[in-house]
Amino acid sequence: MQKISSLFVFMLLSATTFSQTINTKKLDSLFDILDKNHLAMGSVAIAKDGKIVYQRQIGYAYIDGNKKIPANVDTKYRIGSITKMFTAVIIFQLIEEKKLSLDTKLAKFYPQIPNADKITIEMLLRHRSGLIDYINDSVDVKKAWITEPHSDNEILKKIINGKPHFSPDSTMSYCNSGYFLLAKIAEAIDKNKFENILRSRIFSRLALKNINSDSINSMDDNDAFPYSHPSDSWQSKQDFYFDDAKGCGNLLSTPTDLIKFIQALFDYKLVKKSSLDSMMRFPDSIKGFAAFFGTGIMRVPFYEKMGYGHNGGTYGQYSTLYDFTKDSLIIAQSFNDMEISLNDILVSELNICYDNPEDFSKYNTKDYPITSAELDKYIGTYTSKDLGKFVITKKDNQLYAQLGTRAAYPYKAIGKDKFELRFISAVLIFDLDKKELTLQQNGKTFLFTKDQ
């Protein structure tokens, strides 16, 4: 299952300077290559000094056989966990109105939830509650629970009945449950549906016309539908049911409206400076994954620069929104087809904006020839003591791999006994003699042994 929390971090160690004029021709070259090689479909917007200086759309918003609707500047995409920034803004607005505080206990609203008397609003915002993640902790291997509609009460019951992962505030683990609960708390305080709260407190205030929450994609609303392009054609993908992701991943938007949102946030048009300072409070003594999370906002380093915002991923759409505040540079983008790492695209864009060398050769694709019969020797279930079951199947002359309860994704052959899923930088290497499978991802290696 594709986690909503997928983190794209890019750390380099030398110095860089900002180019006064963004090289839009080189950006066009980047997206021309992605489009030509069917590596991505989506939309990007870049702002400098408060103004949009670059926009580009590639691919299609909707595909049905020969019917293809190109993406345009008003096409809306599922922005996944970028939704959490909007939820955090609403919570801080309520705090400013003295209706809530960072120290308010969850027990005031949901005493039946485990450790509710110890969990604070701040812990929910900072992913330190210890509660189960009702989206990513699903145990239904055949079909992810989140793809079907569920009532808020069903989701609450799932959180209530789940065994906490750790004691509150003892560590950090990304948790969609916290932001669902924050949305429900906002509903209780404002006595309104969360979608109406978003509209009145953020959308209308900023005159955002291309952002909303919805349950399903709609051609009438110019929504982008999710696809993959594993071989020679696009295939539709089943995304999760978005009402199930209230407060944590249920918004649609255009990149330009995302830019308007984050500009307003950093211009103190949505919350006061003291509230934004609280959102931007990052741990100094913590390293690794947790170090990139503030209170409803993320940070990502690029050379000595730092961007602030969030990223988001659903089962079929992938987005980033980052403001490099010291250089007045904002990049917002969403994709409804992603065959390579979104991190690679973001790094390429930043290299171009900061006038660093950028080599597009990594985007050149050349398939390794393999027959359907040859794929059969890889099929089976492999087990790792660290990651559990990895199920390898075949469909339409394509190898599919499913790790645990996550969705099954198509891997392309890139060499003998070697397959790649580029958009998450994952490589599978099979040793048929030893009946082993090695997963390489983000500098880590995991060994799986084929079940008998």
Res 16: pLDDT: 56
* CB distance 441 to 424 below 8 Å: yes
- Separation between Cα atoms, residue 206 and residue 270, nearest integer Å: 9
Q: Average per-residue pLDDT in the chain?
A: 90
* 13 pLDDT higher than 70: no
Q: What pLDDT band is residue 255 in, cutting at 50, 70 and 90?
A: very high
The pLDDT tens digits for 327-344 are 999 999 999 998 888 988
Q: In the prediction, which pLDDT does 3 show?
A: 44
pLDDT in tens, 43-55: 999 999 999 999 9
pLDDT in tens, 291-317: 889 999 999 999 999 999 999 999 889
pLDDT tens digits, 179-201: 999 999 999 999 999 999 999 99
Please tell me what DSSP assigns to residue 125. H
Query: Per DSSP, which regions of 186-267 are E strands?
Result: 211-213, 227-228, 235-236, 251-253
Q: Which domains does the chain have, with CATH numbers?
A: 1-364 (3.40.710.10), 372-450 (2.40.128.600)
pLDDT score of 435 more than 60: yes
Q: Among 26, 13, 11, which Cα is nearest to 352's?
A: 26
The secondary structure element, H or E, covering residue 30 is helix 24-36
Taking residues 63-70, what's their average pLDDT?
Answer: 92
User: How sure is the predictor about 218, in pLDDT bands with cuts at 50, 70 and 90?
Assistant: low
